[in-house]
Amino acid sequence: MAEPLLQLSGVHTHIGPYHILHGVDFSIPASQLTVLLGRNGAGKTTTLRTIMGLWQASSGMIRFDGRDITKTSTPDIARAGIGYVPESMAIFTDLTVRENIVLAARSGPVEPARLDWMLGLFPALKRFWNLPAGNLSGGQKQMLAIARAIAEPRRLLLIDEPTKGLAPVMVRSMIEAFKALKASGETILLVEQNFYAASALGDNVIVMDDGRIVHSGAMREMVEDKTLQQRLLGLSLDAHQ
Ligand SMILES: Nc1ncnc2c1ncn2[C@@H]1O[C@H](COP(=O)(O)OP(=O)(O)OP(=O)(O)O)[C@@H](O)[C@H]1O
Ligand SMILES: [Mg+2]
């Protein structure tokens, strides 16, 4: 089997005096979408922040593309090709959609073919191209945040709850956009509490509880196994019903 693109082994994270991650182990295969589930406070966001180096792992190892990035700085992790869309979308509300996207590409102008591809994924952004991003709806802001993360080619995308609080119609267009991202061969680690979206998109699923991984496997296996679903989704979704 090919080496996974990202691998966490025995990762512990402390935030101040609090011990949040208790030995997290999982791997992310290239060109697949892996969903990370878990109830509120399970440690999903802390896991993404630890991968990005925004929290420093207190022990354990994070390998990306064959390289140990456990102690690498956040800018260097970003430069190595990991894009991160945090829960609170990182967009500039006073700037236009266009300016948000232009500023997201650090290495120069966004390649025209790439821009066409991005606007094909999120057509609403084209409609509001010259409007301040603050005027967009919640779902459109979320789409802009994702578009900013892919303004440059990335090896891996970490995306935290993009459908949170969105109306069903917006959830459906988000699912379509992620399907297109998958079809382009992107590798994605997606925190997604909406099981409809998670099961429509995930190749693999990881479930966390209390700072630990309690399940990892194929999404299809979870979708087909109602007992497993009840056991794990009780854990992962009870706080979201
Ligand atoms: N800055 C912080 N200071 C102290 N504790 C924190 C901090 N950030 C997170 N925690 C704690 O770490 C635990 C995991 O939080 P985290 O945000 O990773 O959970 P989550 O799975 O993303 O939850 P949610 O579904 O609500 O987004 C929680 O108990 C939380 O209170
Ligand atoms: Mg979170």
Residues measured by CB to lie within 5 Å of ligand 2, the ion: 44-45
Q: What confidence score (pLDDT) does residue 241 get?
A: 41
**Measured in angstroms, how far is the CA atom of residue 56 from the centroid of ligand 2?**
17
Spans of the chain below 70 pLDDT: 1, 235-241
Burial 28-67, CB ≥16 within 10 A → b, else e = bbeebbbbbbbbeebbbbbbbbbbbbebebeebebbbbee
How many H-runs (helices) and E-runs (strands) does the chain carry?
10, 10
Q: Which sign, positive or negative, has the C-alpha torsion 141, 142, 148, 151?
A: negative
Q: What confidence score (pLDDT) does residue 40 get?
A: 92
pTM: 0.94
Q: What confidence score (pLDDT) does residue 240 get?
A: 46
Give me the residue spans of the domains in the chain: 1-81+186-241
39 CA closest ligand 1 atom index: 25
CA 171 – CA 158 distance, rounded (Å): 18
Q: Which amino acid is at 150?
A: I
Burial 123-137, CB ≥16 within 10 A → b, else e = ebbeebeeeebeebe
Residue with token string 């005096």: 17
Residue ranges lining ligand 1, Cβ < 6 Å: 15, 18, 20, 38, 40-46
> Could you tell me where the beta strands, DSSP code E, fall in 106-155?
none
Task: Give the three-state DSSP class for 2.
Answer: coil
Report whether 76 contacts 45 (CB < 8 A).
no
**Measured in angstroms, how far is the CA atom of residue 89 from the centroid of ligand 2?**
12
**Measured in angstroms, how far is the CA atom of residue 54 from the centroid of ligand 1?**
13
Which of 98, 121, 94 has the alpha carbon at shortest distance from 110?
98
- Nearest CA owner, ligand 1 atom 30: 41
Q: Put residue 17 in one of left, alpha, beta given phi > 0 → left and psi -120 to 50 → alpha.
A: alpha
CA 52 – CA 114 distance, rounded (Å): 24
Question: Who contacts 52 (Cβ-Cβ below 8 Å, separation ≥6)?
Answer: 74, 77, 78, 82, 84, 158
Q: What confidence score (pLDDT) does residue 108 get?
A: 85
CATH architecture of 1-81+186-241: 3-Layer(aba) Sandwich (3.40)
